[in-house]
Amino acid sequence: MPKAAELKKGQIVQINNQPYIVSQIDVKSPSSRSGTTLYKVRFNHAQTKQKLEQSLTGDDFLAPIDFQKRAVQFLYQDMDGYTFMDNEDFTQFTLNADALEEQIPYLHDGIPGLYGLVVEGNLVGVELPAVVEMAIEETPPAIKGSSASARTKTARFASGLEIQIPEYLETGEVVRINTESGKFMSRA
């Protein structure tokens, strides 16, 4: 049983015998010594996408739910949504943009380490790898002689993602991006 303090975005838990996915966690630390840290958690129902918000203390327990974590491959995007394929039995699943929200900018053709969360035979969410490698599609020209820790500039990627990168990088270079924070890590 996971405690509220151990919850992570994308995790599936059971609330009132229903599967919910953790979509957002806000931590509120008290200003006094004796106060307990509060976790304001927003959940989305795994099938109906209905939102649920709860305030929990760090020691509150949540019931785990039976789900499968399967290796999946991103195939394509169309009017219906984003289509993924199970790497073992080749079953195809489609998720709409609302189910993926903040993960969409990191989805690109051939992304390795992608996992699907399957509850009762339905894909309810996708778990991104901690780090993705993407090629810079557009950025201002590199400045000669700039150091690695100097100023930054905006880079745009094919998926529409925009992040700040060091100004010595050029268009076409492959960089590593932390999917949790959305920040540049290093060259690939």
Domains of the chain in start order, with CATH, are: 4-64 (2.30.30.30), 68-127 (2.40.50.140), 131-187 (2.40.50.140)
Parallel, antiparallel, or unpaired for β 122-127 and 131-138?
A: unpaired
The average confidence (pLDDT) of the chain is 84
Contact 91, 68 (CB under 8 A): no
pLDDT (tens digit, 9 = 90+) per residue, 141-168?
A: 877 665 555 688 999 999 889 999 988 8
- Between CA 72 and CA 47, with CA 23 as vertex, the angle to 5 degrees is 65
10, pLDDT greater than 80: no
DSSP structural state of residue 102: G
pLDDT (tens digit, 9 = 90+) per residue, 174-185?
A: 999 998 888 999
- Say how far apart CA 19 and CA 64 lie, in whole Å: 9
What stretches of the chain show up as alpha helix (H) in DSSP?
97-100
Contact 27, 37 (CB under 8 A): yes
* Mean pLDDT of all residues in 43-55: 80
Contact 125, 97 (CB under 8 A): no
Report residue 155 as tokens.
């880079």
